[in-house]
Amino acid sequence: MNGHGLGGFWRNNGLRSGRRWLAGCLLLLALVPGAALAQKGGAMTFGVLLPLTGSLAESGKTSKIALDLAQADINAYLAAGGQSGQVTFQIENTGSSPEQAAEKLKALAGRGVRVVLGPFSDDEAEACLEFAEKNNIVLISQGSSGPFLSKKGDNLFRLSPSDTYQAEAVTGLMRQEGVTAIVPLWRGDRFGDDMVVHVKARFKQLGGEALPGSRYAPDRKDFSPILDDLAKQLAQAGRSGKSPKAAVYFAGGEEIVPILKAAAKRPELVGVGWYGSSGTAMLDAIAKDPESAAAALKTRLISPRYGEGGANVYGLLEKRIQDKADMFVDTQSVVAYDAAWAAFFTAQAAGGATDFARFKQAFVATCERMYGVTGWLALNEHGDRREDWDFDFWVLRSETGKYFWEKAARYQFEPGTAKELFLSSGKSK
């Protein structure tokens, strides 16, 4: 396995809390309405939009493997029940491009497809939504999580938790570690702007101080003026309160590498803790650059990522995907497997996958009663995942000259219980 990070290996130090309600079962089929009502014979066809090339290609590859496994497992399930029907997926490559995703959706619609798994990203989902609305197509995304796409009554269903939960998790960790003031540093795009709004609001609710922070354009190359401003605000934050402890919150992507390299030359910037977002969690680009890796170690950059399921079935499926992919498996790929089963059960309940209105209504009911590999799939009024979400926090480690990502904390949610933060390794600055 290649793993994720310089040196070719990935370490998970065992934070896998069991899901009591799963009780070791893959899917509680009896709770899914219509699960045993499939017609004899007949094929079910679903469209799929995946980023098989471009910046999201790794996630696209592992999602495709997960869907290949789901197709084989669903068809085996049908055969075991004496049903001759088959499930097929018509896969189109979005190229990690919103424009290409929209064109591929049109191609699927032209072939009569009315239910599509994907697209993967927020930008792709946003680009596809208008056409899906006008042409009665259901989109079921395994990766989209931006709050700006949370809308009642639209045709987009999302099975990854909203980024608002990510903000809750990271601010919870900050306060647990004694941070009293944060200075955000973020990329000025939809993701960065949304994350900072929610992180600031949540941190203030928890009694902390959130300074204005520094926003930079997505195409910026020279970060010196941005870091100058960051340093001034950190100095201001360090003087506030009786026992001030300031930290940087970063929301962005691979530009963290030149930012860390520049910050490494400034003791006032690397002398405080840095908290990242999902865009920096387990980011290979950090580990592959010695200067940025050294700065990440010094600041103990810790970033949240949608967490792995704790049940045994999650680990079993993850291994099946990993064996075929030979790379780190992100949680969204496992969500794709759940999405396939949810679409299948819904089609059974709705009498197929071509009646848009019946399928859309039945999908919500199916998810309400379905426990998949990633847990309870219940949706809220916006069609987004309502329950069962966790976040794992990752830090960079170094051992015998090699860098690897290690899980340092877990923010765990179980329906009906209080949210809990579990710390395993990595001490706060």
Give the closest residue to 116 by CA, choosing from 92, 100, 147: 92
**Is the fold of 29-162+309-376 the same as that of 164-307+390-423?**
yes
Distance in angstroms (rounded) separating the CA atoms of residues 297 and 280: 13
Q: DSSP string covering 103-160, please?
A: HHHHHHHHTT--EEEB--SHHHHHHHHHHHHHTT-EEEESS---GGG--TT-SEEE-S
Q: State how far Cα 21 lies from the chain centre.
A: 22
The burial class, CB within 10 Å (0-12 / 13-18 / 19+), for 265 is exposed
The DSSP result for 197-263, as a single string, is HHHHHHHHHTT-EE---EEE-TT----HHHHHHHHHHHHHHHTSSSS--EEEEEE-STTHHHHHHHH
244 within 8 A of 237, measured Cβ to Cβ: yes
Q: 3-state DSSP helix/strand/coil percent for the chain, to nearest 5? A: 40, 20, 40
Which bin fits 207, alpha (ψ -120 to 50), beta or left (φ > 0)?
Answer: left
pLDDT at 26: 43
Domain 29-162+309-376 = CATH 3.40.50.2300: yes
Residue 388: the pLDDT is 73
Q: Give the integer Cα–Cα distance in Å for 281 and 399.
A: 19
The pLDDT, as a whole number, for residue 310 is 65
Q: What was the pLDDT predicted at 419?
A: 64
Say if residue 7 is exposed, middle or buried (CB neighbours under 10 Å; 0-12, 13-18, 19+).
middle
With contact defined as beta carbons under 8 Å apart, do 88 and 71 qualify? Answer: yes
Amino acid at 309: G
Weakly modelled stretches of the chain, pLDDT under 70 = 1-42, 241-243, 310, 413-429
pLDDT number for residue 417: 64
394 contact partners, CB below 8 Å, separation of at least 6? 281, 282, 302, 303, 304, 305, 405, 406, 407, 408
Rg (CA), the chain: 22
Average pLDDT, the chain: 87
- Residue 42 is predicted with a pLDDT of 63
Which amino acid appears at position 47 of this protein? G
Delimit the domains of the chain by residue range: 29-162+309-376, 164-307+390-423
Side chain identity at residue 427, one-letter code: K
Q: Residue 212 CB: number of other CB atoms within 10 A?
A: 11
Give backbone dihedrals phi and psi of 328, rounded to 5 degrees, phi first: -60, 140
Question: Within 10 Å of residue 188's Cβ, how many Cβ atoms?
Answer: 15
CATH superfamily of 164-307+390-423: Response regulator (3.40.50.2300)
Distance CA 411, CA 409 (A): 7
Q: What is the pLDDT of residue 40?
A: 41
Task: Note the pLDDT tens digit of each residue in 55-85.
Answer: 899 999 999 999 999 999 999 999 998 887 7
Residue 49, SS3?
strand
| Residue 179 and residue 247 in contact, taking contact as beta carbons nearer than 8 Å | yes
- Which single residue is written with the structure tokens 């290949």? 68
pLDDT, tens only, 107-123 = 999 999 999 999 999 99
Q: Sign of the C-alpha dihedral, residues 272, 277, 283, 289?
A: negative
**Local structure of 371: helix, strand or coil:** strand
